[in-house]
């Protein structure tokens, strides 16, 4: 995208094409205008259009330009935080409601893929949260206990079974979550876009919303060359937000995260690494993730941005880490590299904002947007359709809250990752 091979890397190379879209020019009217063409906006557009509502979606750049086209592709249930933190932070009603909805999120993703026949490399064999050392295992045992008390199909695997599944002896065990899986993230976003167009939604790209105001009963959102007049505005711009709702970007601390993809591996090696094709990440503070794509490439990621001096540090660390984890890989060459910004909130939970009458949106998925974005997009559509009242939403409505020292924290994330990866190189 934008001729930048480090923005969407492998996913850009292997995703089917997006629907043909144009820039918004002139005036459009709709029941709802949706701002942002990631999972949240596309799911909202699709569900609204399927219900017969008039929908216009405006995307600043291209479908999947934000987190949706850059992520690892792990379809997770819940969030990073422990399940018990939901009711602790949100109270028992919202806490358990949000947790149940997000626990079922991967199921909704699978249903959407199947219903709309989205070609996005879906693998439904679960994810492995890998324990680094006894401390990591202790944390995962507690996480498993909290999910199991809610009936979730998660289990703890010992070191031997983990080694059998992963092909590396580096881990003390793992949490297997059978609700979860992997997909090709940009292909999923583009597939949702095709389905939304088919259902009757109008999608415009290269159409950044620059201002929004009210004209009588209607909301009017404007781009450089056009405007949309609508009863509802859904704000689905999350961490990549620009324009009138930039406050959403500013209330999140950006955590940079990169991915590197090997060349397709030989059949022999493919039999020895992740033969079950689970998606994996570990319990380290500066975590790593890995998964296979359908072409047999190993996609390996960690905290950091592939720009400036960080690029060499992170890539060199990744080579050494992979060589340690999977010596059978031999000389490692990467075919693609990319990175993006993960939006983190101060309590690591997503937020629901009402910016004005009939102007509403979720944000702050803290690195967990595939299932939550799809789910919350559906919830927003149902709210607009009058099927879910404000009181029955999965999160309480809150005002945007700016974090203290955001630029400093962002610099710290990148510097911390570089230091961890540089130090890691020497062992
Ligand atoms: C490197 C990385 C790894 C990740 N790994 C995972 C993972 O493995 N699993 C997982 O579930 N989640 C993961 N995430 C998180 C996930 O990608 C996001 O949470 C998800 O994309 C959020 O979806 P969204 O639709 O709300 O926002 P986005 O996908 O970010 O889409 C927002 C869109 O709004 C557009 N926009 C912004 N401002 C305007 C405007 N003024 N006018 C019009 N359009 C505008 C942007 O261009 C963008 O396309 C990861 C994220 C990153 C960056």
Tokens representing 291? Answer: 């998964």
H helix or E strand, kind and range, residue 141: helix 133-148
Task: For ligand 1, pick from 36, 41, 184, 245 the residue to mutate: most ligand atoms within 8 Å of CB.
Answer: 36
Helix (H, G, I), strand (E, B) or coil at 102: helix
H helix or E strand, kind and range, residue 257: strand 253-262
| 353 close to ligand 1 (CB < 6 Angstrom) | no
CA of 66 to the centre of ligand 1 (A): 4
| 305 close to ligand 1 (CB < 6 Angstrom) | no
Q: How far apart are CA 256 and CA 347, in angstroms?
A: 18
- 154 phi, psi to nearest 5 deg: -115, 150
pLDDT per residue as tens digits for the range 374-415 = 999 999 999 999 999 999 999 999 999 888 888 888 887 888
pLDDT per residue as tens digits for the range 171-215 = 999 999 999 999 999 999 999 999 999 999 999 999 999 999 999
| 367 close to ligand 1 (CB < 6 Angstrom) | yes
Report which of 26, 21, 28, 22 is spatially closest to residue 228, judged by C-alpha positions: 28
- At what angle are helices 310-325 and 406-425 packed, to 10 degrees? 50
Average pLDDT, the chain: 95
| 11 close to ligand 1 (CB < 6 Angstrom) | no
The percentage of the chain sitting over the pLDDT mark of 90, rounded to a whole number, equals: 90
Tokens representing 275? Answer: 């033969």
pLDDT per residue as tens digits for the range 76-125 = 999 999 999 999 999 999 999 999 999 999 999 999 999 999 999 999 99
The pLDDT, as a whole number, for residue 4 is 87
Q: Check the CA dihedral 42-48-52-56 and report its sign.
A: negative
CA of 104 to the centre of ligand 1 (A): 20
Question: How many Cβ atoms from other residues are within 10 Å of residue 190's Cβ?
Answer: 27
Q: How far apart are CA 171 and CA 130, in angstroms?
A: 6
pLDDT per residue as tens digits for the range 324-366 = 999 999 988 999 999 999 999 999 999 999 999 999 999 999 9
pLDDT per residue as tens digits for the range 276-306 = 999 999 999 889 999 999 999 999 999 999 9
pLDDT per residue as tens digits for the range 123-162 = 999 999 999 999 999 999 999 999 999 999 999 999 999 9
How far is residue 229 from each of residues 218, 219, 226, measured CA to CA in Å? 6, 6, 10
Q: How far apart are CA 208 and CA 283, in angstroms?
A: 38
The pLDDT, as a whole number, for residue 425 is 52
| 255 close to ligand 1 (CB < 6 Angstrom) | no
Q: How far apart are CA 175 and CA 111, in angstroms?
A: 24
Instruction: Tell me the residue length of the chain.
Output: 427
| 257 close to ligand 1 (CB < 6 Angstrom) | yes
Q: How far apart are CA 9 and CA 7, in angstroms?
A: 6
Model confidence at 29: pLDDT above 50? yes
Residue 73 CA: nearest ligand 1 atom is 8
| 238 close to ligand 1 (CB < 6 Angstrom) | yes
End-to-end alpha carbon distance in the chain = 37
CA of 145 to the centre of ligand 1 (A): 30
How far is residue 185 from each of residues 77, 137, 188, 241, 427, measured CA to CA in Å? 16, 29, 5, 19, 33
The pLDDT, as a whole number, for residue 412 is 78
| 343 close to ligand 1 (CB < 6 Angstrom) | no
| 377 close to ligand 1 (CB < 6 Angstrom) | no
Pure H helices in 214-360: 247-250, 267-272, 310-325
Structural domains of the chain sorted by starting position, each given as residue range(s) with its CATH number in brackets: 5-71+186-251+346-405 (3.50.50.60), 127-178 (no CATH)
How far is residue 373 from each of residues 44, 103, 414, measured CA to CA in Å? 9, 13, 26
Task: For ligand 1, pick from 237, 293, 364 the residue to mutate: most ligand atoms within 8 Å of CB.
Answer: 237
């Amino acid at each position: 995208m934008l001729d930048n091979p480090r923005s969407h890397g492998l996913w850009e190379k292997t995703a089917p094409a997006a629907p043909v879209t144009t820039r918004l020019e002139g005036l459009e009217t709709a029941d709802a205008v949706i701002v942002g063409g990631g999972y949240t906006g596309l799911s909202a557009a699709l569900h609204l259009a399927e219900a017969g509502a008039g929908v216009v979606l405006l995307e600043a750049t291209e479908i999947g330009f934000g987190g949706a086209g850059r992520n690892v592709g792990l379809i997770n249930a819940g969030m990073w935080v422990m399940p018990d933190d939901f009711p602790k932070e949100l109270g028992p009603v919202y806490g358990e409601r949000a947790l149940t909805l997000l626990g079922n999120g991967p199921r909704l993703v699978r249903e959407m893929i199947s219903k709309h026949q989205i070609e996005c490399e879906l693998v439904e064999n679960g994810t492995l949260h890998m324990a680094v050392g006894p401390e990591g295992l202790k944390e995962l045992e507690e996480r498993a206990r909290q999910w199991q008390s809610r009936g979730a199909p998660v289990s703890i695997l010992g070191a031997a079974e983990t080694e059998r599944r992963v092909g590396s002896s580096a881990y003390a065990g793992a949490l297997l979550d059978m609700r979860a899986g992997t997909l090709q993230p940009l292909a999923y976003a583009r597939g949702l876009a095709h389905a939304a167009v088919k259902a009757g939604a109008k999608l415009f790209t290269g159409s950044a919303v620059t201002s929004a105001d009210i004209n009588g009963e209607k909301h009017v959102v404007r781009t450089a060359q056009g405007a949309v007049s609508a009863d509802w505005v859904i704000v689905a711009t999350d961490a990549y937000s620009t324009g009138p709702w930039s406050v959403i970007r500013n209330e999140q601390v950006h955590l940079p995260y990169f991915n590197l993809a090997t060349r397709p591996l030989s059949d022999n090696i493919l039999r020895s690494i992740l033969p079950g094709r689970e998606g994996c990440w570990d319990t380290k503070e500066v975590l790593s993730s890995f998964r296979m794509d359908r072409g047999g490439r190993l996609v390996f990621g960690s905290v950091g941005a592939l720009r400036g001096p960080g690029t060499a540090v992170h890539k060199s660390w990744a080579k050494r880490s992979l060589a340690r984890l999977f010596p059978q890989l031999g000389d490692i060459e990467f075919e693609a590299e990319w990175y993006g910004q993960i939006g983190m909130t101060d309590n690591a939970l997503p937020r629901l904002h009402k910016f004005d009458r009939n102007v509403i949106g979720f944000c702050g998925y803290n690195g967990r947007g595939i299932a939550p974005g799809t789910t919350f997009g559906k919830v927003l559509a149902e709210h607009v359709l009058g099927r879910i009242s404000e009181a029955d939403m999965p999160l309480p409505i809150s005002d945007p809250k700016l974090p203290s020292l955001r630029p400093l924290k962002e610099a710290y994330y990148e510097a911390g990752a570089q230091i961890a990866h540089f130090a890691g190189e020497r062992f």
